[in-house]
Amino acid sequence: MEGNFVKIVVKVEIRVLLNEEGGFDPYKMERLSMVLSNLVNSGAKILIVSSGAIFLGSKKLGLDGQPEGLIDKQAVAAVGQAELMKLYRRYFEGYNQTVAQVLLTGDIFVDPEKSGNARNTLIHLLEQGVIPVINENDSVSTEDIELNDNYYLVRAVAGLTGAHLLLIKAKKPDTYILLGGSPEAGPRFIHEKELIDEVAAVERVMPGEAFREYAFPATLHKVLLEA
Amino acid sequence: MTEINRDTEQKRIVVKVGSSTLSFANGRINLQRIERLAGVLSEVRHAGWELILVSSGAIAVGGGLLGMKKKPERLPEKQALAAVGQAELMKIYQRFFEPFHQTVAQVLLTKDGLQEKTKRINARNTLNRLLEMGILPVINENDTVSTFGIRFGNNDVLAATVAELIHAGLVIILSDIDGLYTADPRKDPQARLIDTVHDLSPTVLRSARGSDNTFGTGGMSVKLDAARICMEAGIDMIIANGKNPEVIAEILEGKKRGTLFKSQKSKD
């Protein structure tokens, strides 16, 4: 099945799901789940890499702000990851999509056995029509916690699964950033209305190309943060 | 300037959407298309038009819900999927109409129900009352109890029959082509869109046959069956492309879209 579908890694940062007061915005989650469910309905396979465990854990525990120390962050993330999956499951169920939690650690980069296992699991989920929701296993791993984003994870997942495209939810309402499709194609802003046509119109889907070309240099990172 | 009969007593319109508008080529439901449809229908309703929606899609939604990989072929299988999917289809409509404060109601009809006098009056009373209440009726054939010989079998004819029942002025059929062509536009570069049909002449019927088996599930001949019912009842009918549901609002603003089947009795 690998050649038959466009595989897209979707990066969701919790900040794009918050309202102006910094609280979780159900409306934004609702739109995200509708648009991504429709992308799946159109025939694409998606893998979501989502942050939010520490944010939701802090809320759940009634903490004032987010914890600073690494161990505190890991403990809070353990609470929040369950909350994060609850949200994904609830909202995607509304559109008849099944989600699965996959927690990865940084050693999938270097351990061939682990990377093989992770790859098999992810591909199998996609074949079953399930949407993997991936996060770092923060309780035992510290790479991305320290960097405070999931860029390593996004690249690892894209590489493992041979993803063709990277889609990033922008902070701007109804807007996404699409990368890949051809080596020349830089990041482009796309309204959610155009998303399916845009993905369908990708001429050359080259696994991993988008991610080699744009190894998330600082400039891109900056673009994304402003998006 | 407009050629459609917008001056009916009731400002009543029947809009029919098929699977080609509501779902992707793979048969799965197109949520964003339905969202846009809900947006434009709500807008038109709030502008004062009385609307009835005839919607297919139950089988497609049912198939998606049950994770079916293939489209069902046998009738009992389709009926079972329709039973599963119809409830889900209504849930989807409710969800997308809700932000526009538009209430929807499900009305499932059968062919014999629209032929028998008492049932016919009941159906008409229900639809009239729903429209008075500002509710949008969403009609489909009651697939679970309609079997061969007693079913409409397609929603184009159902839409025309409903329009006749409630004295609508216009039926808009959304399809996956822009309208009726002189020949199959995919095969014949000379094919051109016919903008108005005044009577269903042999030439028109030939054009329809030429473009049949190529598009959609209903086919053009079936749409002409619906056109015949409309035209004889004094109702205009338009076939337009449902890729952009906003075409409904454009038609009602008087813009020329698709192919208009002009009824003999309607006022110009």
Nearest CA of chain A to the CA of B95: how many Å?
10
Query: Which B positions 90-129 lie with beta carbon below 8 A of chain A?
Result: 95
| A34 Cβ under 8 Å from any chain B Cβ | yes
- Confidence tier at A84 by pLDDT (50, 70, 90): very high
pLDDT at position B215 is: 39
Q: Which of A4, A38, A194 to mutate to probe the B interface, most B CBs <10 Å? A: A38
Query: A143: which 2 tokens?
Result: 């790479």
A193: helix, coil or strand?
Answer: helix
Please judge whether B31 and A37 are an interchain contact, meaning their C-beta atoms are less than 8 angstroms apart. yes
Question: Does position B154 have pLDDT exceeding 70, yes or no?
Answer: yes
Chain B residues within 8 A of A94 when measuring between CB atoms: 95
Q: Is A96 on the interface with B (CB under 8 A)?
A: yes
Partner residues linked to A102 by β-bridges: A134
**Distance set, CA A94 to CA A37, A51, A88, B170 (Å):** 10, 21, 10, 35
Closest Cα in chain A, distance from residue B33 (Å):
9
Chain A interface test: which of B22, B31, B37 (most A C-beta within 10 Å): B31
Q: Which residue of A has its CA nearest to B66?
A: A96
**Among A43, A95, A129, whose Cβ lies nearest the Cβ of B31?**
A95
Confidence category of residue A149, pLDDT binned at 50, 70, 90:
confident
The residue with tokens 């860029």 is: A151
Is there a contact between B24 and A35 if contact means CB atoms under 8 Å apart?
no
Topology adopted by domain B12-261? Carbamate kinase (3.40.1160)
- pLDDT tens-digit series, residues A91-144: 999 999 999 999 998 777 778 888 899 999 999 999 999 999 999 887 787 766
pLDDT of residue B213: 44
Q: What angle separates helix A70-93 from helix A53-60, to the nearest 10 degrees?
A: 100
From A166-180, B120-134, B211-225, the region with the lowest mean pLDDT: B211-225
Q: Do A43 and B64 touch (CB under 8 A)?
A: no
| DSSP structure class, residue B256 | -
Query: Which residues on A lie below 8 Å from B88 (Cβ)?
Result: 96
Verify whether the Cβ–Cβ distance A96 to B88 is below 8 Å.
Answer: yes
Q: Is B19 on the interface with A (CB under 8 A)?
A: no
ipTM, 2 dp: 0.83
* CB-based contact B31 A34, cutoff 8 Å: yes
Burial of residue B153, with CB atoms counted within 10 A of its CB: 0-12 exposed, 13-18 middle, 19 or more buried: middle
